[in-house]
Amino acid sequence: MRRTVVGLALALAAFAAAGSDLPETPPVPWPNGERLVYVLRWKGLVVGHQAIEAVRTGSGWHYAGRVRGGGLAQLVGFDLVSDSYTRRDLFTRRFQRDLTVPGEGRRVLTAVVGQETAVRFVWVTGQVYTFREPQTDVLDDLSVLYYVRVHPEPKPLWLINYPRLVRAPLAFLGVRRLSSPTGRIEAEGYRFEGEGAQIEVWYGRNEARWPLRIYFGQSWGGLSAELVRVERIR
């Protein structure tokens, strides 16, 4: 019996030591269940509100972006549904963007990251395109917002896109004052731009580092979002 207890203790100690070798989950400035609500504009027109939620999933996060129904978005037929699942280091492990653009149609991009990044893209005609690339520390439309919220250091990043991953530096744009849900505060801007993809984000210089302004520039037209409300879903 004594040998069994000693053996179990040694096994538990070895398991704990192995676990200590895993990279720690980085501290983040947002709570589990945070919901950011934005006024969403497409080509300068207000099309409705977009809610982006962050929910802890295992050692990573699930970010969900939804355009809330009603308003001009429903009238003109614009819709955007995005889901991003991350690893503990905040890089993407799975992503899907389902976008419907008025006058053009629906296009769906899906990416799965393992020992490589596999991307599947369905064009408005139903034609399916795929590609694979060896990079695995990659970001997407949603995860990049949260990654830079924690890691604002100017450096090259990989972004999931079609027809290939895009690598470009994260550029610092300076500081300016912007409105926020709690009044006007200082914000610092960052831009990722390369090969037809552009993302510009202005983060509040508060403890939560809210993304106050977001701009996505793509071939299908620019989207801009202004933060108007912060909620909790749990």
Q: What are the tens digits of pLDDT across the range 141-196?
A: 999 999 999 999 989 999 999 889 999 999 999 999 999 999 999 999 999 998 87
From residue 187, alpha-carbon distances to 6, 92, 202, 203 in Å are 57, 26, 6, 5
The rounded distance, in Å, linking the Cα atoms of 37 and 52 is 7
Residue-wise pLDDT tens digits, 78-115: 889 999 999 999 999 999 999 988 888 999 999 999 99
Provide the token pair at 11: 């096994």
- Comparing 67-81, 168-182, 210-224, the range with the smallest average pLDDT is 67-81
Structural domains in the chain plus CATH codes: 29-228 (2.40.360)
From residue 94, alpha-carbon distances to 81, 104, 172, 198, 201 in Å are 14, 26, 27, 21, 22
From residue 14, alpha-carbon distances to 2, 21, 116 in Å are 18, 11, 31
Provide the token pair at 61: 């996060």
Q: Could you write out the DSSP letters of every residue in 34-62?
A: EEEEEEEEETTEEEEEEEEEEEEETTEEE
